[in-house]
Amino acid sequence: MAYKYLGKSYVRPDAINKVTGKAVFLDDIRLPGMLHAAILRPKYAHARIVSIDTSEAEKCPGVVKVVTGKGCTYRYGDNIRDLVPMAIDKVRHIGEPVAAVIADTPRHAYAALDKIKVEYDPLPVYIDARQAMSEDAVLIHEELGEYWHLPTLNPQPGTNIANVYHLKKGRGEEGFEEADVIIEGEFNYPFGSCAALEPHGSIVWFKEDRTIEIWSSSICPFIIRDDIAHSYGVPVSDVRVHIPDIGGCFGYKSDITVEQTVAWIASFVPGRPVKWVASRKEDITSTLLAHGIRTVMKIGAKRDGKLVALKTTVYHSGGAYSDTAVNVTIAATHNSTGPYEFEHCDLTGYTVYTNTPPVGAFRGYGHPEPQFATERMMDILARKLNMDPFELRAKNYLREGSTNSLGERMWKSNGDMQACAERVQQIVFGKPKEKREDDQFYYGRGFAALMKSPKGAPFSTKGCYMKMNIDGSVSVNMGGAEVGQGLRTVVRQIAAEALKIPPEKVRCYNEIDTQFSPYEWQTIGSMFTMQGGRAIVRAAEKLIQGLKKTAAQVLRTDEDYLEYDGEYVYLRSDPSIRVPVTQLARGYITDNGITIGDLAQSVADARLPRYSNPDQNGQGNLGVTYTFGAQAAEIRIEKKTGKIYVDHFASVFDVGQVINPLQIRGTVLGGVLMGLGAALYEEVKFDEEGRILNPHYFQYHIPTYKEAPQQTIEFIETPDPIGAFGARGIGEHPVIGVPPAILNAIYDAIGVDFYEIPVTPEKIKQALEARMEKEIA
């Protein structure tokens, strides 16, 4: 469909502030009388705290207060209330807050940290879920049975299992009886870090009027507001949360992470704002980690390639507090089908307490990890069946009429998986491979298909406030956090289209303020364009209706006889009878000064339609909307070094409707590079004592300028019935297919199957040497 302002590239409204250095990020905020906090981290990843002596630290220059967790009586969490703002009698991971110094400057605060003396009694440390699940494992949370949790969760008190989720579709495991061929595999997607360029930070200010004001680099201001209000026993309306510009998120600035800790610290100096900003090291050791997912997968198929049954067990090392991990596990479990239909599914996900920092959202939210397994398994199954892998996949793609693991029926409007796959096949596999190898390199090509749904929640709505001004320009406020994804541009374009006015006449909010912004659950799940967009469309419709209502009085007719074109409200049967919107914005002022009608403003929100909790089989409307896509890699492996070069990467997604071509390309470019990092470089490593070995950028390598491949990016547009103007989510999806596509390409190049990432040059060299030995033998 042709739109006036959609499908065109507009420059982001925040670009100029960002190139002039005027965009305000958390650490750029200075408040009167502001103090600074530094936080002490433990020597052990799992230990009882015997004693803490803060007396020396209290005497240091500039120190205002030294804080410990002693006396803290509350726990917090959105899903399972297992979190504490500061360790009380026990530390459970190496990045946990043990004590904090509040001082006049960050330098003074950090200098005093060394003077705090803590005595520990160490406990056994578990890094991997399966270690922590062993029968003789020491409990990380002895009180698990007492924690409040969502009614849909199923914790296992007396063990380290924070939650078990199980899904059965069809005959479950019995379905394998119908299979001719069965393959099994175990895959590992190790711990990672979102590693956004801006480290986490918060400012909390307990005011004398008993209100609490907070600034945070977070994408969930309303969760912070509700959570802090609950913990401190004040009305939710007395907590005000501001979100400035955010320097990248990719997942780990969702949910409540550092805010409760900074609030606990600040509560000891009422009347003074306290700022804490993570060092890079703390950003990795003391916020949320990612992944930590082992997927054990069994697939049964008919001889002709028709998939029959899937059994998946997800072992999720959820970290020391599982509040943020449980939903990742659930998403990983029911999305482990990838974009395929299995008649029978037996899927289990364990969220397990481990002595690592808490694990939470990472771009893709439980989709990249199991689908890494699914897509590797598809290639392996094709070999076993002696079948073309594209043909095998095509036989089984979710399409109109099929049902996914959750029991949701797929419609044509869910998008065209097959078309995405065919296009990528054409782009990358359309011509025969030029060469298998030469003196220096092996060459390979690999493919992966993917799907993603948002992982919502029952109250996951997004609101929109809209007001028309007296010159016909429009101000739009929403609760969506701008982390770089460009949602302000999208808001502008969608509002312009819906209101039939040029985007330049739409001014979008900049910061979020829970006092003035409409409610939004959190800006997650690639939902903003579709769901937030729907809220904008609804608000625009209401605003236009309001204009018509006033105009009907002015023009002495009925509302349904009127039309709106962005400039005028006019009589359909005689457009010369009209009133300009500029005269309707504040109500209409008649010649004698009497004003009629309402202000031109509106409020609306939108959620995923009929999103539901899982039923007793673990099924239900938990996905609601899907984006399908296909990706492929062309790689070179250097014989001498084992280094992998990704020369070209292709992605095609069915996004429903492209809103802004420049931005959507940027989304995919960045997502693919992130996936490339996961496939080849990134892993947060622990030693046996639970210490993180690489908490810096020079150790935790994220892809650099010269490592970026050339990319081909295309879109298919099958309009979505939920999203605004047919648009679907795309923010996270580009990451998902990258590791399996690259690992499938590695097999194509050297005939070696890898089951875990990152595939480093050392691993390639080992594999090549092993292959050589085998050939000689």
Partner 1 sequence: MTEKISFTINGEYRSVEIDEEMMVIDVIRDILDLTGTKRGCDNATCGTCVIVMNGKAIKSCNTPAIKMQGADILTIEGLAQGMELHPIQKAIAESGAVQCGFCTPGIVMELHALLESKPDASETELSNALNKHLCRCTGYEPIRDGALIAQQLVRERMSEKA
The answer to whether 646 touches 634, Cβ cutoff 8 Å, is yes
C-alpha distance from residue 564 to each of 446, 545, 569 (Å): 52, 9, 5
C-alpha distance from residue 187 to each of 270, 370, 478 (Å): 50, 8, 40
C-alpha distance from residue 590 to each of 471, 534, 543, 586 (Å): 18, 35, 21, 12
Choose between 389 and 731: whose C-beta lies nearer to partner 1: 731
Distance from C-alpha of 471 to C-alpha of 227, rounded to nearest angstrom: 40
* Residues between 172 and 211 with contacts to partner 1, criterion CB under 8 A: 194-199
Least spacing, CB of residue 638 vs partner 1, in Å = 19
250 makes contact with partner 1 (CB under 8 A): yes
* C-alpha dihedral (243, 248, 251, 254), degrees to nearest 10: -10
Region near partner 1 per CB under 8 A, out of 325-333, 480-488, 497-505, 637-645:
480-488
The answer to whether 614 touches 558, Cβ cutoff 8 Å, is no
Distance from C-alpha of 750 to C-alpha of 766, rounded to nearest angstrom: 12
Least spacing, CB of residue 384 vs partner 1, in Å = 35
691 makes contact with partner 1 (CB under 8 A): no
Cα 739 from chain centre? 18
Q: Which of 27, 96, 128, 683 binds partner 1 (CB under 8 A)?
A: 27
Least spacing, CB of residue 114 vs partner 1, in Å = 15
Distance from C-alpha of 745 to C-alpha of 739, rounded to nearest angstrom: 10
Q: Which of 8, 18, 302, 648 binds partner 1 (CB under 8 A)?
A: 18
C-alpha distance from residue 576 to each of 499, 568, 590 (Å): 21, 10, 19
Least spacing, CB of residue 346 vs partner 1, in Å = 37
25 makes contact with partner 1 (CB under 8 A): yes
12 makes contact with partner 1 (CB under 8 A): yes
Choose between 45 and 249: whose C-beta lies nearer to partner 1: 249
Report residue 212 as tokens.
Answer: 């609490």
Q: Dmax of the chain from CA atoms?
A: 102
19 makes contact with partner 1 (CB under 8 A): yes
608: three-class secondary structure by DSSP: coil
Region near partner 1 per CB under 8 A, out of 40-48, 178-186, 422-430, 477-485:
477-485
Choose between 589 and 662: whose C-beta lies nearer to partner 1: 662
Report residue 542 as tokens.
Answer: 């209401």
Choose between 11 and 138: whose C-beta lies nearer to partner 1: 11
Cα–Cα nearest to 440, from 638, 259, 192: 638
Report residue 161 as tokens.
Answer: 């299992």
Choose between 101 and 125: whose C-beta lies nearer to partner 1: 101
Binding mask 58-97 for partner 1 (x = CB under 8 A): ----------------------------------------
470 makes contact with partner 1 (CB under 8 A): no
> What amino acid is encoded at 328 in this protein?
V
The answer to whether 144 touches 317, Cβ cutoff 8 Å, is no
Binding mask 229-248 for partner 1 (x = CB under 8 A): ----------------xxxx
The answer to whether 348 touches 383, Cβ cutoff 8 Å, is no
663 makes contact with partner 1 (CB under 8 A): yes
Distance from C-alpha of 330 to C-alpha of 255, rounded to nearest angstrom: 16
711 makes contact with partner 1 (CB under 8 A): yes
Least spacing, CB of residue 741 vs partner 1, in Å = 16
670 makes contact with partner 1 (CB under 8 A): yes
507 makes contact with partner 1 (CB under 8 A): no
Computed on alpha carbons and rounded to an integer, the radius of gyration of the chain in Å comes to 27
C-alpha distance from residue 383 to each of 305, 336, 753 (Å): 11, 21, 12
673 makes contact with partner 1 (CB under 8 A): yes
Least spacing, CB of residue 132 vs partner 1, in Å = 30
647 makes contact with partner 1 (CB under 8 A): no
Choose between 112 and 749: whose C-beta lies nearer to partner 1: 112
666 makes contact with partner 1 (CB under 8 A): yes
504 makes contact with partner 1 (CB under 8 A): no
> What amino acid is encoded at 422 in this protein?
E
22 makes contact with partner 1 (CB under 8 A): yes
669 makes contact with partner 1 (CB under 8 A): yes
The answer to whether 72 touches 89, Cβ cutoff 8 Å, is no
Secondary structure E strands in 505-549: 506-508, 512-513
706 makes contact with partner 1 (CB under 8 A): yes
Choose between 207 and 665: whose C-beta lies nearer to partner 1: 665
Beta-strand relationship, 35-40 and 99-103: antiparallel
Choose between 24 and 50: whose C-beta lies nearer to partner 1: 24
Question: How would DSSP label each residue in 430-480?
Answer: SS--S-SB-SSEEEEEEEEEEEE-----TT--EEEEEEE-TTS-EEEEE--
665 makes contact with partner 1 (CB under 8 A): yes
11 makes contact with partner 1 (CB under 8 A): yes
Least spacing, CB of residue 617 vs partner 1, in Å = 39
Distance from C-alpha of 122 to C-alpha of 44, rounded to nearest angstrom: 7
What contacts 285, CB < 8 A, 6 or more positions away? 41, 94, 95, 357, 692, 695
Binding mask 260-289 for partner 1 (x = CB under 8 A): -----------------x-xxx--------
* Residues between 96 and 115 with contacts to partner 1, criterion CB under 8 A: 107
* Total residues found in the chain within this entry: 777
Choose between 194 and 332: whose C-beta lies nearer to partner 1: 194
Output the CA torsion sign for 246, 515, 466, 589.
negative
Cα–Cα nearest to 571, from 551, 545, 597, 550: 551
696 makes contact with partner 1 (CB under 8 A): yes
32 makes contact with partner 1 (CB under 8 A): no
Q: Which of 80, 483, 501, 658 binds partner 1 (CB under 8 A)?
A: 483
23 makes contact with partner 1 (CB under 8 A): yes
Choose between 591 and 698: whose C-beta lies nearer to partner 1: 698
Q: Which of 88, 150, 182, 708 binds partner 1 (CB under 8 A)?
A: 708
Binding residues for partner 1, per CB under 8 A?
Answer: 9, 11-12, 14-25, 27-28, 30, 107, 194-199, 245-250, 277, 279-281, 483-486, 662-663, 665-666, 668-674, 696-698, 702, 704-706, 708, 711
